[in-house]
Structure formats: C-alpha cells, structure tokens
Amino acid sequence: MRAPRLLLNAGIAAAILLAAEGWCSLGERPPKYRLSSALGYELAPGFRGPHETVNLDGLRGAEIGPKRPGSLRILAMGGSTTWGHKVDDDETWPVALERELRASTGRDVEVLNGGVSGWDLEAVVLALRQRYLDELQPDLVLVNVGWNLPLVADNAPVAKIRRDVIAATRRDGPYRSALVRWLAATLDEWRSGEGQTAAVDAAGELAELRARCYPALFEELKRECDAHGASVVALLYPCLVQRPLPPPGAARAAYEEPLRRNLGDDQDLAALVMVALAQYHGGLSAVDAATAQAGIERLDLASMLPGELPAQDADVVWAGYFRDHAHFTPAGNAAVGRVLARMLVQARLDIAGP
C-alpha cells in the first residue's frame, strides 16, 4: 500500500510543478529594460505591456516620425515621475502637456516622453548626448530629476534592474525553468524590500551627493543642449508632503494612504512625513541651486500646482494627485500638464507662436 501511495503523491507533486511551470511561462513577458554599458539600463524598444508601451525609438508611447516642418518638439526627460509610474500611456504628464499646448496655442506640438524609471541626472545627460539630441532634434528639453541617485555607477537601484534583466533573460542550468526564474525574481524583490528603511534613512547622504554632483552635471546638460540648438528648462517638482499634514478626518486619511504606499507601515504618520520631507527638500534644493549656477531656466511647478486646488476639499484633491509621496495619479498628471502648459506659454514666447 505504501508504494502506490508514494507514487500517487509523486504524481500529484509532478502535476503541481508542471502546472506552476506552465503558469509562470504564460505570465512571462520580455523585459521592459535592456542592459546599457553607459546608462546601466535603458528601455527596450518595442516593449509591450498591459498598460505601457515603448516605441522603436526607446521612448514611452506611440511611434514618432521625423520632425515635422514648423512643429514644436518638446522632450521630457527624467525618472519614474516623467515616465508615469503605474499609469497608462495616455495618462502621463507629457501626454497631458501636449494636449494642453495644442489646445491653448493652436500649434503643432509634440511632447515626447523620455522618462525612464530610476534614471537621474547623469543618465539623462548621457542619453541626450549619445543619441536623443541628434536623433530626436528637440526644440525644448524639460528635465525633471531629483528623486533618484544622480550617478549611474555605485547605484544600487541600477544594479537591481540590471540583475532583473539578466535573470529574466537567463536560460542556462536551472534558469531554463520559468518557475525558477519567477522564484529568483520574487526572492530578489523581497531582499530589496528589506533595504527600504536603510535607503530612507540615507536621505541626508543622498542630498550631499546631489550637492556635489549636480553643478557639473547641469552645466554639461546646458552645454549639450546649447550645442544642438535646444533650450533646456528644469522643473522644480511638487510632492505630497509639501502641503502640511491635514487635521484628523477624511483629508488626513486621504493623505496618509498614498504616503504609506511607498514608505511603509513601520513608522507613525508624523515620522513618515519627516522622511518624505527630507527626501523632497534635499532633491529640490539641489536642483534649484545647481540650475541657477548653470544658468538653466527653472519653472517652479511645486509652487504653481496648488493653484489648481478648489476652495473646498483642497487637501483631499491634493492627496488625489499622488499615488504615493512622489508619483502622480492620472488626475495629478493631468493637473501637471495644465499648469506646465500655462507656465511654458508665459515664460517662453516662442511656445505660443506668432
């Protein structure tokens, strides 16, 4: 009796493993990123996900053609707040900005989304110098950086994405199994989550690193754009916690939920606000100081965006602009597009046309 039972159990286990293998195999997609020796990683041209696409130029969204005579081409560069974290292709702020500028100016305007999650200033400068300025010929480059590590080297998030790409494309030894690849990716994700508190605690060190690196990088950015006849503008970006903590009630609940989504549940709300403020002000002040030194025009989106809020329920609406303390919801991206379009028209007469 024991042998048949063992065979039955072995058969059941084998069936479960085969089913798991099949499930993991069906769920696999080609990676969104590919390795890059200079940038660490970049978007994989032609990637198609459930809610996001990468065109053949390596930018988010629909395919683009040659620059049209008389058109205004704007290239938005930055990290995940530009790429559009957890929103669909047509819900990003570059798409909203194009829509608003077309409607308000009547011009043929293109806004290209060159954001890549995890990128910061060095990756932006390298990508512009190596390819984007020559190939895309933008008239205006909008740069939205300050949340991520500024340099490509010795960058833990960059290293993680590179590991993910390598693991997703491995087909040797046990990695021939889709189940093994899924288990390895899950384990790596769990390990990276353990380091979140340490990364949050290092906000002061990150601010110091930006203060050292940003002046030279922004000066290089200005030189590269000038050499290609492109204007460059830096965005002083908004954050959930730039508005004070609301009093208890619906507004505070709306404020707390996105704040905890990225920063976790292991601290009280006041402590999380302080962590987010340290991250925010460290990046924002470094961008402001370095762009001023480099002679780059700045648009203070952080100061202007609250003007979109209604007289009543302003705190609830503000919280509704953010998926977490840094990333925008579709409503937040739409608001950014509206405000930024007005600011560009007011600050740059060539945007409005004749």
pLDDT in tens, 75-91: 999 999 999 999 999 99
pLDDT in tens, 100-150: 999 999 999 999 999 999 999 999 999 999 999 999 999 999 999 999 999
Largest CA distance in the chain: 91
Instruction: For residues 55 and 115, give the distance between their C-alpha atoms in angstroms, rounded to a whole number.
Output: 13
- Total length of the chain: 354
C-alpha 142: how far from its chain's center?
14
Using 50, 70 and 90 to split pLDDT, how confident is the model at 169?
Answer: confident
Contact indicator for 97, 110 with CB cutoff of 8 Å: no
Contact indicator for 221, 121 with CB cutoff of 8 Å: yes
C-alpha 309: how far from its chain's center?
24
Using 50, 70 and 90 to split pLDDT, how confident is the model at 347?
Answer: confident
pLDDT in tens, 186-201: 444 444 443 333 344 4
Contact indicator for 323, 261 with CB cutoff of 8 Å: yes
Check whether domain 20-352 has CATH 3.40.50.1110, yes or no: yes
| 40-43 vs 33-36, strand pairing mode | antiparallel
Instruction: For residues 184 and 180, give the distance between their C-alpha atoms in angstroms, rounded to a whole number.
Output: 6
Using 50, 70 and 90 to split pLDDT, how confident is the model at 179?
Answer: low
Parse the chain into domains and list their residue ranges: 20-352
Which has the closest alpha carbon to 175: 47, 32, 24? Answer: 24
345 exposure class (CB count in 10 Å sphere: 0-12, 13-18, 19+): middle
Mean pLDDT of 32-37: 96
End-to-end CA distance of the chain: 91
- Return the pLDDT at 266: 76
Between 3 and 259, the higher pLDDT residue: 259
Token pair in block for residue 144: 């939205």
- Return the pLDDT at 232: 97
The CA distances from residue 184 to 20, 48, 192, in Å, are 14, 23, 12
